[in-house]
Amino acid sequence: MLLAIAAVVVGVALLIWGADRFVDGASSVARNLRVPPMVIGLTIVSIGTSLPEMIVAAMAAIDGNRDLGIGNALGSNIANIGLVLGITALIVPLAVKSMTLRREMPVLFLVTVFAFMLMADGELSFNDGLALLGGLVLLLIWMTRLGLKDRHDPLVEGFSDSIPDDMAMGTSVRWFIIGLVVLMVSSRMVVWGAVEIAHYLGVSDLIIGLTIVAIGTSLPELVASVASALKNEAELAIGNVIGSNMFNLLAVLAMPALIHPGAFASEALIRDFPIMIGFTVALFLVSFGLHGGKVKRFEGGILAAAFGGYLYLLFLQA
């Protein structure tokens, strides 16, 4: 048990470090190729924040634990809104002025409905995985066009500051490869440790995916969002959450569907997906509806408390 806990803790720490190195390397390669910062931020950076979930889900599916990957995807989306955005708003109230984020929010709803329709029959088939990958490709194309169009959006300055500007191409490629290798190794540690903990406690892989793994793999979003908010870059904080949630539903859910298709635990559809939808609606209300684009500490406290309530519900049912 202690070895399993250590594997999860060390694995998550390496996941965060590896994802950071991967994003820095990939972003710097793109900058050296003169890709606009807005495009880099909307695509590479957003994918990078979901890479830990994506690789953990893939490794879990390879081991036959599809529920762990599905729980990781849904749990990370709930954690991104309740834990990440909630804590960030408690530290620094957020003001949202970016039109890009206002365009992304309806797309997040569409992606959520699309994923629900594919999961509604109680299984994720190989064709469902292909459909999710197709949606991911369309999302990347749309985001690229959005990035090329909105070059004067408030997000541009934040993305420009987050991309290394003094890294040579060779160094960028080296960090890209190192980050990817560390992600692969650390994800194996996290999956092994999480499964061992689940067996020891007598709970399902889904519960472990929704809690320990989801919170662990959401830490990069928490760190990035708090850092952005402290720099008065609220758009980046909320953009991290919206972008990560879209990629979690498309890229992360595609992993178990493509690698280990089949039926999943019914609780994911009956309990967790509706709760995730509720948090997504709350994200829209607090970001764009209640105070005209301001997320205050009160709303942040409500989101964080709701996330705590969700964890308590899982504890009672487990």
Can you list the domains of the chain with their CATH numbers?
2-317 (1.20.1420.30)
Long-range pairs for 2-9: beta carbons < 8 A, 24 or more residues apart: 3/193, 3/196, 4/192, 4/193, 4/194, 4/196, 4/197, 4/200, 5/193, 5/197, 6/193, 7/189, 7/190, 7/192, 7/193, 7/196, 8/189, 8/190, 8/193, 8/194, 8/197, 8/212, 8/213, 8/216
pTM reported for the whole predicted model: 0.84
In angstroms, the first-to-last Cα distance of the chain is 19
Per-residue pLDDT for the chain (318 aa), expressed as one digit of tens each? 788 888 888 888 887 787 777 777 777 777 777 767 666 666 777 777 777 888 888 888 888 888 988 999 999 999 999 998 898 888 888 776 656 567 778 899 999 999 999 999 999 999 999 999 999 999 888 877 776 776 555 555 555 556 666 777 788 788 878 887 887 788 788 888 888 888 888 888 888 888 888 888 787 778 777 777 776 766 677 777 888 899 899 999 999 999 999 999 999 999 999 999 999 998 888 776 655 567 788 888 999 999 999 999 998 887
